[in-house]
Chains A and B, each alone.
Chain A
């Protein structure tokens, strides 16, 4: 196997379907026999990213590339972007609305979780253009 390439559209403002891309990637990793702890790490990080695109960016794309020794997930949206990445990365910082909070999101812990659970975390964002996050977990 060279490597496995998967692409998903993440629907904006749809909390019911949110997490489907993550579910699918998890299923593939299980099938490939990847260590459950590594599956857990990438799945939580990817789900946080998926939810962020739903809440903050009106949807986007999730791309997963699975290699023998790692998985790389890219979350790409053309939302409003992040003004201050350093601030957004602070645990507890959130711009989520009251509606979103009532669903259990908006603790401001998503980006910190993504960093915590991955071996490599990269974020690029341009105001008015969008955000791209790259998550890597090594097996």
Chain B
């Protein structure tokens, strides 16, 4: 699935768009950044409710395909700016992590 397809599926809005044709492989859900850095795999979709600028560093380090901000969490402006300048895909959905992942899982 591409980032664009995931965004459509989750009725997500765009926070920062770099390459929405990027292919997603797998996913990881979590808010504690060291867990994410320990477990998230390259090209995954990372589901979180963290909205501060450190999300960008972790997204870059793990090389995730997209950050999915869940539960209508409003990203800090710093996150938006840095995601745009560093070329990180970020989308936002009103779904919680469980709902979002359930929908994605049904798609197979």
Contacts and interface: CB of A to CB of B under 8 A. Distances in A.
Interface of A: 15-16, 18-19, 22-23, 36, 40, 43-44, 47-48, 51, 103-110, 112-113, 116
B103 to A, nearest CB: 25
A41 to B, nearest CB: 10
Interface residues of B, number: 20
> What 4 pairs across the A-B complex have the smallest Cβ distances?
A109-B34, A107-B32, A19-B57, A104-B33
A105 B53 contact: no
Contacts of A103: 50, 52, 54
B32 to A, nearest CB: 4
A113 B37 CA distance: 8
A101 to B, nearest CB: 8
A47 B52 contact: no
A23 B32 CA distance: 20
From DSSP, what is the main secondary structure of chain A's interface residues? helix
Interface in B54-81: 54-55, 57-58, 60-63, 78
A89 to B, nearest CB: 13
28 contacts: A15-B54, A18-B54, A19-B54, A22-B57, A23-B57, A40-B62, A43-B61, A44-B37, A44-B61, A47-B37, A47-B61, A103-B50, A103-B54, A104-B32, A104-B33, A104-B52, A104-B54, A105-B33, A105-B34, A105-B54, A106-B32, A107-B34, A107-B35, A108-B34, A109-B32, A109-B38, A112-B38, A116-B38
A43 B63 CA distance: 11
A9 to B, nearest CB: 18
Contacts of B21: none
B19 interface: no
Contacts of B31: 104
Given A47-B37, A107-B35, A109-B34, 10 more contacts: A15-B53, A19-B54, A40-B63, A103-B50, A104-B58, A105-B33, A106-B32, A107-B34, A109-B35, A109-B38
Contacts of A22: 57, 61
Which of B33, B42, B62 gathers most chain A CB within 10 Å?
B33
